[in-house]
Amino acid sequence: MMIFYLIFCSLLIPVNLWAAITPHLHSDLSMQILHATSTLVLLPLLASLWIQRRHLNQFTGFVLGIFLCVMVVINTWIAFMGMGVRNGWIDHIFLALAAASVEAYFLFMPTAASEKA
């Protein structure tokens, strides 16, 4: 199941980059779907960060957690309110980075000390 999730996350990277490059070539509905989907993709990573918070580097976990929380709040708002956000292309760049961080986290996920022994 995890492989399907990671493949889906990897597909969101070029889609968000394309949305950043072509901001006015899509409909309001397609943008709301993209932002809602991108938000749903970030939630498992936030849950995993919370569950494994004792095993992670505190600074890295804190920065990634704050970044993902901000992305979830912004994209939930865009998913409900629609387009019309100034400099929305920047959000798509950050969404691509967030999807890449999901990939990196789950591919290089730290293992707990009890699992290493």
* pLDDT score of 32: 84
Mean pLDDT in residue range 11-26: 82
Give the pLDDT score at 53. 79
| 26 band by pLDDT with thresholds 50, 70 and 90 | confident
Entry pTM:
0.73
What burial letters (b/e) apply to 42-70, b meaning 16+ CB within 10 Å? beebbeebeeeeeebeeeebeebbeebee
Asked if pLDDT for residue 5 goes beyond 60, the answer is yes
pLDDT in tens, 42-89: 888 888 888 887 877 788 788 888 888 888 888 888 888 776 767 778
